[in-house]
Amino acid sequence: MVGKNFYCQEKEADKILIYGGQPLQGKITVSGAKNAVLPIIVASLLAEGTCTIYDVPHLADVEIICDVLRELGAEIKFNSKVNTSAAVEINCQNLNNYEATYDYVKKMRASVLVMGPLLARLGKAKISMPGGCAIGTRPIDLHLKGLEALGVRISMEHGYLLAEAPVLKGARIYLDYPSVGATENILMAAALAEGTTIIENAAEEPEIVDLANFINSMGGKIIGAGTNVIKIEGVKSLGSTIHTVIPDRIEAGSYLLAGAITGGDLLLENVIIDHLKPVVAKLIEAGVEVIEESTGLRVRSNGEFKAIDIKTLPYPGFPTDMQAQFMALLTLAQGTSIITETVFENRFMHAEELRRMGADIRIEGRSAVVEGTDKLMGAQVKASDLRAGAALVIAGLVAQGETTITNTYHLDRGYDDLVGKLRSVGANIMRVKSSKTEPLKLIYQA
Ligand code: EPZ
């Protein structure tokens, strides 16, 4: 049974050691998408039956969201692991609680997504206000405004949101910003509302499409997911289904960057190439070879890169979740690159750590100016958040000497078997308990 035991062992090992310089060669299988599987697991709350979900990645965030659902009365079983993915069976026939407590919500903001389904199923929800987040304030005002448009009454007491809606009625909702989470919360509530809901200026991410497909497979009536106008016709009830999660475009993009920065030749299997268009376009602009093959996407590089400019935008623009990883590559490009982060207000914390490795980066407002240098040096660095951690791993793979990354629990949130996958393509990388101090070189000279 996959579950807590898996992660409590991992939590003891809170350092990643990398000895840079190995070009990555071989192939990596990409796991199911974290940002699809989380809302899909939450959407299982809508079903009066059993939902079986395949290609569920082995992530700390998946453990947390399953704990949230168990607290609400869901029965959840992890079946045998295929590769590192699992099949999860979720039955929410007997929901007996409408409260998502602070302990869970503080661990993972995506827990607020349970509001929509709880209101749809039980007419009530009591959710702890999500705390702050390293990458930005990340308010949920658009979630609440959308739910209120559906007839939900919301008040706040002692840090909790109390939401009630004896009846949910379809409405036309315009999102001031194409928020992924707000689109998902409203979509799930509207699926069981009376009448039709139209969400305008909706988020267009592939994970929204996967969520809509999942709900439609339960008997939902959603059209337009993947565009900025989504129409949901409420139905009386939703039933059992079987669904396979789409591949993780951000995990895939991170490995493309790892293959490129090390001057390697890496094939990624289980990718939807269309979801990676903005990342591939920027890699090609930076002088990296990316080839579509019958079994996946290949990245090949000679280790030399051109400076480019990047501006993060909602999908189909360049994804903010790939900004940190790309910055690692651009620290070695010839020339000056400008990276502008328009989605989150504080998502450059990796710059400070990359500077410790010899990178030349200065932050000017919402832009980072990256002056290419000829090398990075291994150093002791700290992961401040999930994608910043990925950027430090990518930099460590090419840095001269030894890099030690702490706070690796951030990486466990979004990368399934990161160390194992990188080792399988030749990286000198390992995970050790915080107490271990033997020099990495001895390990790898053997
Ligand atoms: C989702 O977060 C992803 N998380 C994030 O991935 C991703 O970076 C983000 O979408 C943008 O693509 C999951 O799907 C679990 P948003 P979400 O609502 O839904 C503002 C990762 O690394 N906003 O689209 O929280 C907000 O402050 C994570 O995998 C409001 O102002 O993102 C931010 O500036 C990080 N009011 C912007 O919108 C609201 O009510 C984008 O947020 C909601 C959002």
Ligand 1 centroid to Cα of residue 346, in Å, is 13
Residues 218, 214: Cα–Cα separation, whole Å = 7
Q: At what angle do helices 4-12 and 60-72 cross, to 10 degrees?
A: 140
Q: Share the mean pLDDT of the chain.
A: 92
Instruction: Give the SS3 label for residue 118.
Output: helix
Residue to mutate (ligand 1; options 127, 137, 175, 177; most atoms within 8 A of CB): 177
Express each pLDDT in 120-145 by its tens digit: 999 999 999 887 677 777 789 999 99
Q: Quick check: 234 pLDDT over 50?
A: yes
Q: Quick check: 209 pLDDT over 60?
A: yes
* Ligand 1 atom nearest to 145, measured from its CA: 40
Residue to mutate (ligand 1; options 107, 115, 138; most atoms within 8 A of CB): 138
Residues 3, 78: Cα–Cα separation, whole Å = 8
Ligand 1 centroid to Cα of residue 323, in Å, is 14
Band the pLDDT of 6: cuts 50, 70, 90: very low
pLDDT at residue 103, rounded to an integer: 86
pLDDT at residue 133, rounded to an integer: 73
* Ligand 1 atom nearest to 315, measured from its CA: 12
Ligand 1 centroid to Cα of residue 399, in Å, is 31
Torsion on CA atoms 413, 436, 2, 425, rounded to nearest 10: 70
Of the listed ranges 16-25, 113-122, 125-134, 367-376, the least confidently predicted one is: 125-134
pLDDT at residue 90, rounded to an integer: 98
Ligand 1 centroid to Cα of residue 418, in Å, is 23
Q: Is 51 one of the catalytic residues?
A: no
Looking at residues 325-347, what average pLDDT do you find? Answer: 97
Q: Quick check: 146 pLDDT over 90?
A: yes
Stretch (H or E) spanning 19? strand 15-19
Ligand 1 centroid to Cα of residue 319, in Å, is 11
Decide: 387 in ligand 1 pocket, CB within 6 A: yes
Residue to mutate (ligand 1; options 343, 345, 415, 416; most atoms within 8 A of CB): 343
288 or 129, which is more confident: 288
Single out the catalytic residue among 51, 66, 92, 133.
133
Decide: 140 in ligand 1 pocket, CB within 6 A: yes
Give the sheet arrangement for strand 221-223, strand by strand. Answer: 172-174, 196-200, 229-233, 221-223
Q: What residue owns the CA closest to ligand 1's atom 44? A: 179
pTM: 0.94
Residues 436, 39: Cα–Cα separation, whole Å = 38
